[in-house]
Amino acid sequence: MSEIVVQLENVNIYQSGNLILQDVNLNVQKGEFVYLVGKTGTGKSSLLKTLYGEVTLTEGNGKVVGFDLKEMDWKKLPFLRRNLGVVFQDFQLLTDRNVHENLRFVLKATGWEDERLVEQKIEDVLAKVGLQNKGFKMTYEMSGGEQQRVDIARALLNSPKLILADEPTGSLDPETSDEIMQLLFQIAKDDGTAIVMATHDFMVVNKFPARTLTTLGGRLNEQA
């Protein structure tokens, strides 16, 4: 039986007190790639934020990688996030240190102590995203595509069961965007990592077809 990594039942999602998505029901299985498509402001980001605990779940039931979202508090949140990877459109990398130090910072912050394992993990994730031998580079010296690869490498550090990607190709040219999409699909296939990706780029969705959910009129709908 396949492992379910996201399970939402009758969930209402609020942003700044306004109901933005209602009666959301969603199951995502291990290794599944799911698009979340909709115009800006229709609730895609709010749904992702609910999944990683930034928006509190108050109505309905939700489980993400085995954690009950209703029982989430500041003590439990780090444990949830350790099982998730988040990829942002604007990378959110530390510009005052190189790639290696960006990744090392995350590992140290999430409790890794053995230096040998830290080095091995950094080497592994950089190889996975095609940035071997780029650890010494400062992030601001890199192209947008390379920075996005670093962002994905960072998301992979704790071997997450789920990656949430918010417009990961939003600021990239079409060729680089294709490379990032191929990388994400490869990760889902090779590692069995579920990926939920918010986008409003239909060219990407058409070129790399996968299960697609749309946010429209306050509802989350499965696209046939």
The DSSP symbol for 221 reads: E
- Interior angle at CA 54, CA 188 and CA 145, nearest 5: 45
Question: Residue 114 above 70 pLDDT?
Answer: yes
| 204 pLDDT higher than 60 | yes
Q: How confident is the model at residue 47 (pLDDT cuts 50, 70, 90)?
A: very high
Residue 1 scores a pLDDT above 60: no
> Shortest CA distance to 89 belongs to which of 218, 221, 201?
201
- 170 pLDDT tier (thresholds 50, 70, 90): confident
CB 33 within 8 A of CB 163: no
Distance of alpha carbon 193 from alpha carbon 160, whole angstroms:
7
pLDDT at 4: 94
Domains of the chain (ranges, CATH numbers): 1-83+180-224 (3.40.50.300), 86-159 (no CATH)
What are the φ and ψ backbone dihedral angles of 192, each rounded to 5 degrees? 70, 25
Return the closest-CA partner of residue 92 out of 163, 173, 168, 187.
168
Which amino acid is present at 36?
Answer: L
The predicted-structure confidence for 12-43, as pLDDT tens digits, reads as follows: 999 888 899 999 999 999 999 999 998 888 89
- As a whole number, mean pLDDT of residues 129-157 equals 92
pLDDT-derived band at 224, boundaries 50, 70, 90: low
Q: What is the pTM of this model?
A: 0.91
